[in-house]
Structure formats: C-alpha cells, structure tokens
Amino acid sequence: MNLLPPENKKIAKKQGFRSLKLVNVDLDQPLGDQPPFGADYGRLDNGLFYYVRSNSKPRMRAALALAVKVGSVLEEEDERGVAHIVEHLAFSATTKYTNHDIIKFLESIGSEFGPCQNASTSSDETVYELFVPIDKPELLSQAMSILAEFSTEVRISKDDLEKERGPVMEEYRGDRNASGRMQDATWVLMMEGSKYAERLPIGLEKVISTVSAETAKQFYKRWYHLSNMAVIAVGDFSDTQSVVELIKTHFGHKSSTLEPPLIPTYSVPSHDEPHFSCIVESEAAGSEVMIGYKMPVRELKTIRDYRDLLVESMFIQALNQRFFKISCRKNPPFFSCSAFADILVDPLKACTMTSSCKEKGTIKALESMLIEIARVRLHGFSEREISIVRAELMSRIESAYLERDQMQSTNLRDKYLRHFLRGEPVIGIEHKAQLHKTLLPYISTSDLSKYAEKLQTSCSCVIKTVEPRASAVADDLKNVVSRISALEKEKNILPWDEDQIPEEIVSSKPNPGYIVQQFEYSNIGATELFLSNGMRACYKCTEFLADQVTLAGFSYGGLSELPESNYFSCSMGPTIAEEIGVYGYRPSVLVDMLAGKRVAVDNTIGTYMRMFYADCSPSDLETALQLIYQLFTTSVKPGDEDVKIVMQRAKEAVRAQERDPYTVFENRVQELTYGKSYFFRPVRISDLRKVDPPQACEYFNNCFKDPSTFTAVIVGNIDPTIAVPLILQYLAGIPKAPEPVLHFTRHDLKDPPLTFPITIIRETVYSPMVEAQCSVQLCFPTELKSESMVEEVHFVEFLSKLLETKILQVLRFKHGQIYTVGVSEFLGGNKPSSSGVFRGHISISFSCDPEIASKLVDLTLNEILRLQEEGPSEEDVSAILEIEQRAHENGLEENYCWLGRILNSYQSKVYSGDLGASFKIQDEARTQVRKSLTPSTTQLALQRILPFPCKKQYTAVILMPRRSRLQSLTSFFQSTQNHAKILAGVAGLTVLVLSLRRHSR
C-alpha cells in the first residue's frame, strides 16, 4: 500500500523534516527489528537475557537494570507482600554483601541511594535499577556484581527480615493516606473479578508483620529463575562486547536450582454493563470523577498496530484539548479534566478520564465527560482540531529526531526493559520519524471517531466518584449514563463550537531596541548585553540538547515589600491572572495559537523578586520571546465570571487543606518555625472574602511593567546571529515605563516578617485520620556570617547531605524504623543584600509508627549531637564529596544547571556588576570547601552552622492521629488492671450526670 502523501512545503518547512525521506509501507509488515534496535542482544546458556548498548549521554555513566518477570500477582494468600519484601531484602543483604554494604558502596562512588539506585515491584514484574559512574574500570564490574547478587544470592534470614520489616511497614503506612486509599480503590474496581484485584504490590499489613523468612525464601527460590530475567546495560562504553563479557563473568556461572517455572497468566473479566463506585473519603483533596474503559492489550507487532497507536494518541490529545477549553468556560462543569491510555497489567489496557470538580459537582462533571465522548462519536473532531493535534505530534517527533544522538541512557534502558517485560519492539528514531511523517497525514477525523466507539459504557466501563461528603450515589451515576445514551441515540447532541483564533501572537511587531554595552565572560562562555530600554540580557550557547533553549528573567521586589493589609489580595494576583490569560489571550485561545510549537512559559512573584520562565526549541525562541513581550505590554483585567471561578477553586482548595492532616501539620510547622508570620499562616475562607480582585490584578500588571528592572538569561542551542536580533526586537523592544515601577535594588528590600524560635519547642499536632499516620519534622535555625557567606552556603549543602545519609543509616539501617528521610535547607530569612547575615533553617523530616515518633526524634538528636561532638568518619566525608562531585559533573551537561548557576551569580551577595567575577567567586568557594572538608572541619561546621549543642535550640513537631473518645476509653480500660471497679465507677458517674441533667432541665 502506498501511503506517500503529496509534498507539503509549508509543513515540511515548519517541521524541519526536509532531509527525512518518506517511506512506502505495508501495514502488515513487522514493526521492530530482531535483535532489538541498537542493542547487543543475546541469551546466556543459563537462560538469562542481556541487552547492551553504547550511549554517551551522560558521559562516563551507565544505566543498569535487572528485570525479573515476577510480581505480586504470583503470590499466594499467605505471601501477599512478599514480592516487595524480597526487593527490599536484596539491598540489605546478599551472600557477598551484608549489612547494607551495597548501599554503602553506591554512596562511596557517588551513586546516592534513592530514585536512581532503587527497585520497584508491580503486579507483573520487579525491576532493580542502578545508575553508576564508570570512569574507573572496576566500578562497572562491581555494579554488575551487585545485579548478579540480586538474581540468585539474596540472603533471606530471620534477622535480615526483622531489620527490614520496619521500612516496608512504613512504606505501607505511607500509602494509607487519602490518595493511597483512592488509588487502591480504583485498582480494585478496574481489576474486579481477577486475581490482580487481590494482589496489590504493597501487600497486607498482617503478612508484612508476621511472614516468616522461610516463606519469603521459598517465594524467591521458586520464581527468581534466570530464564525469567534480563540484564540491561546502557552507558558510555568504549565497546559493547567487553560489557557482554562482564555480564558473562558475573552471571554465566550461575544456575537456578529448579526447573524454569511456568509463569501463569491471569485474565481480567470484561462486562457489558458499567460498574459504579461512589467513594466517600473524608480526607480527599476535592471531588473527583473517573471513567475507565478497559480493553485487552494488543501486541505492537506490525506497522498497522503502530498506526492504531498513533490514532489513539491523536484521539487523546484532541479530547484533552476539548476538556481544557471546557474547564476555561464560565461556570465550568469541572476545574480540570484529562484523558490518558496505559497498560495496567500484562493482559489489560485502559483509557481513563479523570476530572476534579467543585463539591457536589460530580454528576455535572460526569455528564459533561460522557457528552464529549458521545459528541466525538456523532460529529467527530473538526479538521482544525485534527491539524492542531497532528502538528503537536510532528513537533514531538521532530524534537526526538533532532536529539537522536543525545538521548539519555536511562531512557534507552527503559525501552529495552519494555521489550523484555512486554514484548514492545524497539524502533530506531529515524524509522519512527519516517513512520510519523508517512502515516500522520492520512489519519482522519473518521479514524478518531472509530476509536471513540471503543469508549462505550457497554464496553467494560467503570465509573467512580470520590467526594469528601456524600452527595452522589450509584443510581445517580446510572441515570446520567442512561440520559446521555438516550441523547446520543436520538442524535440530540450538537457539534463542537470552536473559538476564533488570531493568526499572530504579537499583532504589531515592536521596533527593535539596540545594545548599549556588551561584555564577554570567557570563564562562563556567556555574553552579556545591556539593552536600550534598561533590560540586561545574558546568553550562553550550548549543545547539550539540540532542541532545547531555556530562559528566565528576574527583577528585585516581591511580596516582602507589601504591607500586611495588601499582602493577601496581591498574592492572589498571579492566580487570577492565570485564569484570565496572562499574555493577552485567554488560555483556551492561547493553547491553539501555540499548537505545533514546543514552547512553555510561566511567571511567578516570590518573596524578594518577580520572575518569568520559558522553555522552547530553538525554532520557537521567537514565539517564547513574543510571549514575554506580551507579558509586559498587555494588562490583566478581572471580569466578574473570571473572579468567581478563581475564588470557587480557591475555596475548594482551602476546604481540602482543612481536611488534609498533612496540610494541617505543615501549617503548624510553618507557624512555629516562622513566628506566626502572616507570610506563612494558612489561608482561611474569611481571607478569601477580603480579596480585592482589581487590586490583585493591578499589582500583577505592575510587577511586569518596567523592563529596566529585569535581567534575562538564555541558555541552550542558540545561534547568536538569529537569537540576538530576536532579543533586540522583543526584549529591547518592550517600551520603557514612563516612570519607574517597583524599582528596587537588593539593598532596598525589606526583610520578611518572620522570626525563628530561640528555645526548644516540642509539640504534637493531633488530627482526625481515617487511618493512623505519623510525620515528624525537626528544624534547626542557622545564621551565616556575611564575610564567609559564599563558603558557608556550600557547607550547608554538604552538611544537609551528610545529615540525610547518617540519619537514614541510624533510623532505617540500624533500627529499621523508617522508609526514608529528607533534609532540606532554607536560607531566605532576610533580604539578599551584601551585608548582614543569612538567616534560615535546616529541617529534617520522616514518617514513622506513631508509637515510636518521640523516640525517633531523640535518636535523631543523639546522632546529630554525636556528629557535633565526635565528627563524621573519613568514609562519611569521602562519600558526601563523591555524591556532590557526581551530581556536579552531571549538572555541567544540562542547560537548566547552567541557567541556575548564571542566575545565582547575578543574585549572589558578592555580585557587584561583574558577572564573571561573581561566578568565579562562587566556583572557587565550592572548590575551597571541597578541599577543606575533613572530619574535623565538618565537625566544626556542624557546631558553627547548627545550634551547638543541637539539643539546646530546635523545633520538633509530630503529627499524630487524634483518637475518638471511644478509642481513648477503650485504650484506657485495656491498660488498667482493675476493669470491674473502673466500669462500675464510670456507670455510677454516668447515672449521676444523667440525674443532674434531668434536674437542671
């Protein structure tokens, strides 16, 4: 079949695919290659599969994985949670590595334990991932050795299991919040009637607490067979064959004791009638509606299958555009709504739509969602909608094609994981781009309407509502389905009404400005321009990604300059402006104007400054700059309906915060930490009633009015001969303000109204909870001296990482009581002037069993005090230095990192007009701190930066479940020996109270 479309010069020019040939395709021909594209692929004699590929992004790094076709669905009733427990045990102890030596090794080479060095267990699979440096030959070999240990050598003893029960239990408890409960309920509803519904990967509390080591060991031995595994290695290898030999060295001699087990398959029953569920969740963030359409997974084998996948992508993209436009209407049926399609388990895929709406608005939201799907079946999408979606998909594939030699190793690793686990073909990006160019022009609106036929409520559909207070019941949902079905049958649903879309973002292009001064900074590789309207622009050309340009601009003067009487109204300015449309167009119109362009823009007003951001492709830099020009030259004017929608959403958000125990907890933490400052106190409904929308919008408009106060930084794959004229037209072309507007230097700024505690504060926040949760946060105030401030900031970063590592070792690896810990620093307690001190705090947070929270606070304080009094070990310091160095090396290859470094150089207290000098001072400060970091200097820094001893000044806040009166009485009775006397006493007291009450009446 010949699918060559006629050459469209306009599209070809716009999409940049002129050099890419279209192809003649047979829709029934195979899609992927064997072996998988780009990989050295094979299988060892013991059954293990391997995939190896050389890839230079990032340099001298390797992304590794061990994939195992074993998940929670294989568990028996007494094993529910064992697959996940085995995954945990793998990192704690194997035959070769004991007592979390694997984690210690990874940290010693700069591979921090966490998202990149971790594992995941799902219903059908378990995947272990490592991301390691390979600049030394032995590192790759040792990382491969660790994966080999995971495959057959996980040590599952009674002691190992007891140490890991606490972290697994804490992970389980962490998922028992409102979000976790709703996700579990959705899963059970979607999988109803199958074993998958009864095998959530996290397992059962009873099994986690009591399962024997022998049971876990038998599960591991039974299912972890080498024939069910694959090793994937993608990295900056000089050659793939040497890596294959390394795999053979570490895995080739291994064998599984049993015959390869037959992995059973489990089906999910289909159903002709929709299934309904109305969930009342008292801690829910808001009201939601979900519609799920289940369908069998279709293997991706032929080009026809790939075309069907493109049809699905176009349908979902077009439907989401409609949902977004509906959410922007007056009195919309929902605040937001989106659709997506994904494989849930091996045999089941789902197209799912979810919306959030106002309280008691679920019926209206469901009605709108069903009507839109029916409208597509009846009338299809318009040609303009299809062309917009086609342009979006073309833009994405163009970006991937341009960056085909710059793909991250982790992304390539994931492709081979899907090939092994799901049989998904690996397609070279050149072939994929050719297929897009060839197939997309021939996908029509009728194709998308046919896809909508799969989304009938009679096709294994499930409908779920979530509400904080019950208003909808199943019969209400059934009635909506019947009503919309009748409307569709009668063809009583009107076609989609489209908006008028302007042709150009900037209707009249500005006269270009000019360069007043220009400076080159060789140590940064950046050029600084002082423009005729007073704005300063700095650009740095990079080749990290061929299709990325990122930029940001800032100006001093933010919310800290507002009096308390105006603070809350003005802080609502960006929220109101976003609803109305910040760049001169309503959001529903702007989304169509930007179709086919890879550009995203945003703005924010912070404590000390106002900022704008943009991210785009080089070809869309002009569009990004046009939007920034519009930000400065258009005004936001609030209409009654716009404000009504914003305030409705704000009220729903406040009510959700009041229901959420964690928000109540966080609000109290901030209240204590910052001295009850109005900057941090929780928003109340009464505050919303005082908002003055015209004042809020006037403030927002003034924040982006005077270009002379702004500095813009642009980093990415830019050509100065193209970029500089655009900068002059759209940035230098922004008109000067007639008089200075919000014109501040950093020395003019006010310190924010906050004070840090000077004593010990320990407080427990009790909150009603559906299921018991507990969270802990400790805060230590800190002050950095101005004369050594640049070095001290780096010390704070090192100390934060040290504390995080050591507390994790104590609370998780030694005592087995937490899952993870976070340490963060805040140094914005005063204005960013060049004098004075840097005030802030270092905070430590973790969740745990409510019964031992106070004990863990004391253990944390003890460990910090020990570090202050004894200092860390050489190994501790070496590991922290290595982690920081590896992160620094990765950052040097990222545009976002360079954008941040340049912005920090401008905003640094040491900046005095010379960007290069400020950058150099910060760079040298980092180097100096690294050179000086020893156990003794780290110990002194802990004494200097934290209160010393740490137990003399800190805030510790614990979130605990509030018990009902009945629970408290029951607990009291259970803890008392003489139950009979107490019961008699309570009975007598009750009679007395009732008698007195009758007497008083």
Alpha helices in 490-607 (DSSP H): 564-571, 573-580, 587-593
Cβ(577)–Cβ(636) below 8 Å: yes
| Annotation marks residue 792 as catalytic | no
Cβ(978)–Cβ(686) below 8 Å: no
Q: Would the CA dihedral through 103, 105, 106, 112 be positive or negative?
A: positive
Count the Cβ atoms, other than its own, within 10 Å of residue 422: 15
d(CA 429, CA 408): 13
| Annotation marks residue 622 as catalytic | no
Tell me how many degrees the CA angle 287-292-294 measures, rounded to the nearest 5.
165
How far is residue 924 CA from its own chain's centroid?
33
| Tokens encoding 986 | 């309570």
| Strand partners of residue 131 | 63
Taking alpha carbons only, the member of 567, 559, 601 closest to residue 584 is 601
| Tokens encoding 956 | 């510790």
d(CA 267, CA 295): 11
In sequence order, which residues have a C-beta less than 8 Å from that of residue 111 and are 6 or more positions away? Answer: 117, 130, 131, 132, 133, 883, 886
3-state SS track over 419-446 = HHHHCCCCCCHHHHHHHHHHHHHHCCHH
Report the amino acid identity of residue 877.
Answer: V
d(CA 424, CA 974): 57
Taking alpha carbons only, the member of 390, 352, 346 closest to residue 369 is 352
Taking alpha carbons only, the member of 409, 426, 47 closest to residue 240 is 409
Q: Would the CA dihedral through 313, 319, 324, 327 be positive or negative?
A: negative
Tell me the angle at which helices 979-1000 and 965-974 cross, rounded to the nearest 10 degrees: 150
**Helices then strands, each counted (H, E), the chain:** 33, 23
Alpha helices in 760-844 (DSSP H): 789-808
Burial 432-460 (b: 16+ CB within 10 A, else e): bbbbbbbbbbebebebbbebbeebbbeeb
| Tokens encoding 941 | 């820094």
d(CA 459, CA 295): 8
Let me know if 477 is exposed, middle or buried by CB neighbors in 10 A (0-12, 13-18, 19+): buried
Q: Considering 79, 87, 281, 424, which one is annotated as catalytic? A: 87
Longest CA–CA separation in the chain, Å: 96
The side-by-side arrangement of strands in the sheet containing 275-280 is 275-280, 461-467, 287-296, 348-357, 336-345
Q: Considering 75, 79, 149, 164, which one is annotated as catalytic? A: 164
Q: Would the CA dihedral through 390, 395, 396, 397 be positive or negative?
A: positive
By annotation, the residues acting in catalysis are 87, 164
